[in-house]
Structure 1
Amino acid sequence: MKNKLQIGISACVTGQQVRYDKSHKRSSFCMDELSDFVEFKPVCPEMAVGLPTPRPTIRQISVNEVIKVSRPDGSSDVTDAMTQFGQTHAQSNPQLAGFIFCAKSPSCGMERVKVYQEDGKGSVSKGIGLFAEQIMKNNPLLPCEENGRLNDQVIRENFITRIFTYQKWLDLAEEGITLHKLIEFHSAHKYLVMTHNIARYKALGKLLADPKEPIDVVEKQYIAMLMETLTIKATRKGHTNTLQHLQGYFKKHLCAQRREELTQEIESYRKGLTPLLVPLTLIKHYMLAYPNEYLDRQVYINPHPKSLRLRYGY
C-alpha cells in the first residue's frame, strides 16, 4: 500500500473536548489501536459553522415535515450552514479512505438520530445527522461507520476491511487505471469478494471479461459494485466456503493426516468452536511450506494489519 490511510472522524471521537458541554466521546479503539495505521482528519461540524464550546444543545426539529437543526426553541438555526459545510467538506477531501462519525449526533449521526416535534413534546429516532448525510451523499463509495457500532467485532472487521480495500483502489486510481490493472486488482480480491457474496463476485468478473463500455465507465461500475458488495457482512458460511477453496491448493502437497487436520479446523470454525484465525494460521503455514504466487497475492489472507486482532473473536 503506497499511502497511509486518511480517515475523516468526528473530532469528539478523537478526544477533543468539542461537544456542547465541553466533553468528548473518545474511542479507545480508534485512538489506541487504529491510529497506528491511519492519519485521522478530525472535524467538528458544529464548531465549523460557528457554534462555541460549551454551548446550548442543538437538536433536529421537524418543522412542517422539514428537518431543521437549531436550539430547542428554534433559535440559532444552523441547518443551511451545516448542510453547505458538509457538501464543501465532502467535495474537498477526495483522498479520504473512510469516515468515523459520532453516533446519534444531530450533525454526525449516521442513523437513529432523534427528530423532535416542533412543540418539543415528543421525538422519533429516525434522523440522519446533517453533516454525515452530506458526506455519505456526496461520496457514496466512502466506507462510513459510527464510533459505537465499532465495538461490535463483525462490524469493526467489516469497516476496517473496507477502508483498506478502498485505499488500494485510491492508490490504483492515482497510477491510472487500465483494463489489465483492473483485472489484476479483481484477481487479487477474488477470495475476499467471494466471502462476502459469490453472486456479486461472478457479476464483477463478467463485467471485466466482456466490458461493453469504455474503461472510465467500467472502472466506475466496478468500484461501485465492489464497495457495495463489501458492505455485506461476511458470515461463517462464506468464510468456510473460502477456506475450503484455499485448502484445495494444498491437496497434492499434504499427507492424509495433515489434510484431515486442516479439514477439522475448518469444520470447527464453521460450527463456531474456534475463531477464523485458527484455520487461517494453518493455511498461512502451508503457504510458507508450499509457496503459491497466486495465493500470495490474495487480499483475503491479510486484508488488514495483524496487530488489530480483527480475526481473533469470530
Structure 2
Amino acid sequence: MTIKIGISACVIGEPVRFDGGHKASTFCLQQLRPLVKFVAICPEQAIGLGVPRPAIRLQRDANDQIKLVQSRNPAIDHTSAMLTYTEKLLPTLADLSGYVVCAKSPSCGMERVRLYDDAGQQLGKIGVGIYTRQLMQRYPWLPVEEDGRLLDPALRENFITRIYACHDYQQQMQQGFTVAKLVSFHSRYKFLVMAHSPVAYRELGRLVASAKLFDAAELSQRYLINLMQALTNIASRKQHTNVLQHLQGFLKKSLSQAEKQELADLIHRYRQGFLPLMSPLTMLTHHLRQHPNQYVSAQRYLNPYPEQLGLRA
C-alpha cells in the first residue's frame, strides 16, 4: 500500500502563501514524491483566507492564550476558525504515516515560530503553529518534520526512517492488533531501535515482554508512541558500531577468521570516521547472502527505507 504523507501545500510548490508564492522542497518533489502519496493541505487557505492575503502571526494575550491574528490589525482573529477547521479535519488524517510542514509559519510551523504579545512586541521564536500543534497533540506518534530541516542530511534520514517504521507498524496492525503481531514487529525492529536509543531498546523490550498486562488498544498506541520517540534520536557512529558488532556476532560460526577480521576492521574504521556506514553494511549484507541467517536478514536496520533514496550514502 502506498505511504500517505501529509504536507503543507506550499512545500510541494502550490502558490498558496500569503504573498502568492510557495516554498517548494526539492527533496520532497524529486526524491520522495515518486515513493509516497502526498496529502497537500493549506489550513490558512482552507479557512477562507485568500491568496495573496494579509500576513498573520501568533499572539499571546493577557490570559496566556495563543491566538492567530492579522499582523497589522490584531483585532482580526482567525483562531476560532482555525481550531474549528482543524477539529473537523484531523480525524480524516489517521492513516497518514508522516507530515512535512512549512517552517516558521504561524499556522504550520513545528517549532521556533515568532510569538508576539498584545503590544506587538516579539517574545522570541518560541511558538508552534496553531494547526501543527493540534496535529501533534492528536497524533503524538506521527513523524512530523519541517521543510527547512530536511536540508540537513541527518535529520532527513531520521525523518524518512520514522516514516517507513510508522507505515510498517500501521500495515502490521491494519487488520487488528494482537500480541503476536507486536512480537513479530518488534523482533524486526530491535536493532534499529538499538541504533537510535539503547535505553529505549531495553524499555520497549520490557514493554513487549509484559504485553499481556495491558489493554490491547492502550498497548498498541503506547508501543507506537514510544517507538517513534526512540527513533527521533539521531543514531551516532558509536551506536551504529554497537549494532554492527551485534549483527556480526550472529555470523561468527559461519565466517572464516580472515572474514571476521576484515568485517571487524571495516566496522572499526567506520567508527573512527574514515568510512561511511554503507561500507560495513555492504560487507555484512554480502556475508548474509553467502551464509543466510533469517533473523538477521529480517532486521529493518539493514534496509529501513528504499535504497533509491540514497540517504545512508
Secondary structure of the equivalent of 1:299? coil
Q: Counterparts of 2:101 and 2:228 in 1: how far apart (Å)?
A: 19
Contact 1:87 1:138 in 2 (8 A): no
Q: Distance in 1 between matches of 2:53 and 2:205?
A: 53
Answer yes or no: is 1:171 the counterpart of 2:179.
no
Residue of structure 2 equivalent to 1:62:
60
Residue 254 of structure 1 deviates from its aligned partner by: 2.0
- 1:193 counterpart letter in structure 2: V
Amino acid corresponding to residue 86 of structure 1 in structure 2? T
Give, in whole Å, the separation in 2 of the partners of 1:63 and 1:201: 43
Query: Aligned pairs, how many?
Result: 310
- CA drift at 1:283: 0.7
Equivalence map 1:156-305=2 (5 Å) = 156-210=156-210, 211-305=212-306
Letter in 1 for 2:136: M
Deviation per CA, 1:251-300: give whole Å up to 9, x if none: 22222222221111111111111111111011111111111111121111
Alignment-derived partner of residue 48 in structure 1: 46
Question: Matches of residues 78-157 of structure 1 in structure 2 within 5 Å?
Answer: 78-157=78-157
CA shift at 1:33, angstroms?
Answer: 0.2
Question: TM-score with structure 2 length normalisation?
Answer: 0.95
**What root-mean-square deviation, in Å, do the aligned CA atoms of Structure 1 and Structure 2 show?**
1.3
Task: Report the alpha carbon displacement of residue 16 of structure 1 after superposing the two structures with TM.
Answer: 0.4
Deviation string 1:181-220 (CA, Å, 9 cap, x unpaired) is: 1111110111111111223222222222233123333223
Deviation at 1:233, TM superposition (A): 1.7
Could you tell me how far 1:121 is from its partner in structure 2? 4.1
User: 1: CA distance between counterparts of 2:156 and 2:2?
Assistant: 19
Secondary structure in 1 aligned to 2:274? Answer: coil
Q: Is the 8 Å Cα contact of residues 108 and 130 (structure 2) preserved in structure 1?
A: yes
Q: TM-score, normalised by structure 1?
A: 0.95
Distance 1:220 1:11 in 2: 29
Structure 1 residue 302: Cα displacement? 0.3
Unaligned runs of 5+ in 1: none
SS, match of residue 40 in structure 1: strand
CA distance in 2, matches of 1:124, 1:200: 33
Secondary structure of the residue aligned to 1:69 is strand
* Cα contact 1:87–1:135 (8 A) shared by 2: no
What is the one-letter code of the residue matched to 2:249? Answer: G
Render the CA deviation track for 1:34-59: whole Å, top value 9, x for unaligned: 11111000000110010000111111
Q: Which residue of 2 aligns with 1:19?
A: 17
| Secondary structure at the counterpart of residue 53 of structure 1 | coil
TM-fit CA distance, 1:87: 2.5
Segments of structure 2 that go 5 or more residues without pairing to the other structure are none
Report SS of the residue matched to 2:109.
coil
Report if the CA contact (8 A) 1:162-1:227 is conserved.
yes
- The AA in structure 1 aligned to 2:175 is E
Q: Quickly say closer, same or farther: Cα 1:68–1:213, change in 2 above 3 A.
A: closer
Separation in 1 of the partners of 2:256 and 2:81? 67
* Contact 1:102-1:146 within 8 A present in 2 as well: yes
Q: Which amino acid aligns with 2:193?
A: V
Q: Please give the per-residue CA displacement for 1:117-163, whole angstroms capped at 9, x wherever unaligned.
A: 32324341111100010100111111101000111111111111111
Provide the rounded CA distance (Å) in 2 between the counterparts of 1:214 and 1:123.
Answer: 43
| Contact 1:89 1:135 (C-alpha < 8 Å) held by counterparts | no
Write the letter of the residue equivalent to 1:141.
W
Q: Distance in 2 between matches of 1:99 and 1:168?
A: 16
